[in-house]
Structure 1
Amino acid sequence: MKHIIKLEEAAMFGFSIYLFSLTNFDWWWYLVLILTPDIGMIGYALNTKTGALTYNLFHHKGLAIMVLCLGWLFSNSWLELSGIILFGHASLDRIFGYGLKYPDHFKHTHLGWLPGSKAES
């Protein structure tokens, strides 16, 4: 089942690249910005509950799609770009098994425990 999820996420990542190709931004913008949503991990400097909240805020596909649609609605290319980057990044993360976080531990995600964690078994 995990292979199917990875394939689905790869397709969504590819879709984000396609959506980006419809914008007027140069390609280097995508390459530079694709990892910026990881700024949401800063919350883990405080505690795991805050970290999970901030991480999930920057990795929630529903919010990414909402930002993208607001960009389309208001003809705001920067909002469009932000939504595309958020969506693409979340898909890329999920290809590698990083899902939305639970507040108890960084390695506890909605996709299960990350490899190498104590509760993985």
Structure 2
Amino acid sequence: MKKNSLIYTLILIFSLAVFSACTQETQNRIGRSIQNWTGVNGVLEIYSGGKLVKRFIKIDKLSTASGTKERTQRPYRFGYGVLDANLNGKADPDENKVYFEFSDYSTNYVFFEDPNTKK
């Protein structure tokens, strides 16, 4: 049993050394990868004039769009989540998971997939 605990300790020390040698951005990417794997069950709420107008629930992650060839970030975020049409905070049986995106610019918009389209 002592041999196994020594091996686990060495693996842990090696992993910590490798992780600490990473840049902050690499550490963030590793953290996001783990989050993408485990899920975060997020909520995105959209307000207009101080009033809640749209809510997406059970969001696994929000991603920053990037150009395919340019490798530069695009000015919007996107994700997948359940459109909470009745704004009750629950994923009801008639509410579907949809694709959505929203802008980083001052023109406020939310683009989302029609939840009534059958796949």
Same fold (TM over 0.5): no
TM range (shorter): under 0.3
More strand, by proportion:
2
User: Which protein, 1 or 2, shows the higher relative CO under an 8 Å CA cutoff with sep ≥ 6?
Assistant: 1
**TM-score, normalised on structure 2?**
0.27
Larger Rg: 2
More helix, by proportion:
1
**TM-score, normalised on structure 1?**
0.27
